[in-house]
């Protein structure tokens, strides 16, 4: 049984909101370059402290324009954070949220400009996924991983005895023409899937977008997000899964039962030989 609670706030001028609907109609292709293959990939090397996360260099190297450096700095400042706790909403300018009770677990998704959050709760255990541009003010207590979003990256970890978390990220820096085409695709995607959405324009009047889709299954939650930044032509896509793992039955009982059956067969064979 799934119970949805739509707590979407009133959106400021230039923003729109919606609810996460059912299963989405597949990954977006086009300028993004097609679907990301699989959620389980090579393990990345996350930092274990927000203070030691990778950052862009402060100065422009020889032969690289200041504009290029600005784009790279904006891209490399984005991080995905995973925590074994819930984070307080005061760290984010939340523009929309949705809470869903599905069977034994509960999720709550937040959308804000340039980022998102998903909280997953099961039997008292809580984990959170955060995508955000600036991590300076976020406390690192309960941090599982801090993953720079630049490029392509996969991460998987068993974060509790019966819970596995995995995620994959992909970034593209597009020309203005391709960026606008992708923006239009994502607006159509949001309308068709009733995504949780935030849109706004920057100081130059260019459009920006953040959206998330959450899908609920009996023992899994899937999250897909897109974040489009016009100042650097950035398209950031993430796909994550929180999976409830069923403990495997103990093998000792099977071995013992097999031994008893074998012993019984041996006794029966000896009785037949005596006869």
pLDDT exceeds cutoff 80 at 237: yes
Q: Is the pLDDT of residue 32 over 90?
A: no
Local structure of 207: helix, strand or coil: strand
* Residue 259 backbone phi and psi in degrees, to 5: -65, -40
Strand-strand pairing, 152-160 and 143-148: unpaired
The count of domains in the chain is 1
pLDDT at site 162:
94
10: pLDDT strictly greater than 50: no
pLDDT band at 57 (very low <50, low <70, confident <90, very high): very low
CA distance 107 to 143: 19
CB 150 within 8 A of CB 47: no
Average pLDDT over residues 1-12: 49
Mean pLDDT of 236-249: 90
Residue range of the domain that includes 261: 2-274
pLDDT tens string 104-163:
999 999 999 999 999 999 999 999 999 999 888 888 999 999 999 988 999 999 999 999
Q: Across 115-267, where does the E strand assignment appear?
A: 115-122, 125-132, 143-148, 152-160, 163-173, 196-201, 207-216, 220-229, 234-244
Give the model's confidence band at 64: pLDDT under 50 very low, under 70 low, under 90 confident, else very high: very low
Residue 71 has pLDDT above 60, yes or no: no
User: What gap in Å lies between CA 121 and CA 216, rounded to an integer?
Assistant: 13
Q: pLDDT band at 18, cuts 50/70/90?
A: very low
């Amino acid at each position: 049984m799934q119970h949805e609670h739509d707590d979407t706030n009133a959106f400021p001028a230039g923003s729109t909101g919606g609810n996460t609907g059912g299963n989405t109609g597949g990954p977006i292709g086009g300028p993004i370059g097609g679907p990301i293959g699989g959620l389980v990939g090579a393990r990345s090397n996350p930092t274990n402290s927000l203070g030691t996360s990778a950052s862009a260099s402060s100065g422009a190297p020889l032969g690289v324009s200041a504009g290029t450096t600005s784009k790279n700095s904006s891209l490399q400042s984005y991080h995905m954070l995973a925590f074994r706790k819930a984070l307080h909403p005061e760290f984010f300018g939340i523009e929309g949220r949705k809470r869903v009770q599905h069977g034994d677990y509960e999720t709550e998704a937040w959308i804000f400009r340039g980022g998102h959050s998903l909280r997953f709760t099961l039997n008292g255990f809580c984990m959170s996924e955060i995508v955000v541009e600036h991590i300076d003010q976020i406390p690192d207590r309960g941090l599982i991983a801090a993953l720079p979003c630049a490029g392509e990256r996969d991460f998987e970890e068993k974060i509790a005895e019966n819970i596995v978390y995995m995620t994959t990220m992909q970034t593209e820096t597009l020309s203005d023409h391709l960026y606008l085409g992708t923006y239009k695709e994502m607006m159509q995607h949001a309308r068709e899937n009733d995504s949780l959405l935030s849109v706004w324009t920057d100081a130059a009047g260019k459009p920006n977008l953040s959206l998330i889709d959450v899908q609920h299954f009996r023992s899994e939650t899937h999250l897909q997000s897109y974040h489009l930044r016009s100042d650097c032509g950035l398209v950031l896509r993430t796909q994550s899964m929180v999976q409830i793992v069923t403990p495997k039955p103990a093998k000792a009982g099977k071995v013992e039962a097999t031994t008893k059956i074998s012993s019984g067969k041996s006794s029966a064979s000896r009785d037949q030989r005596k006869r």
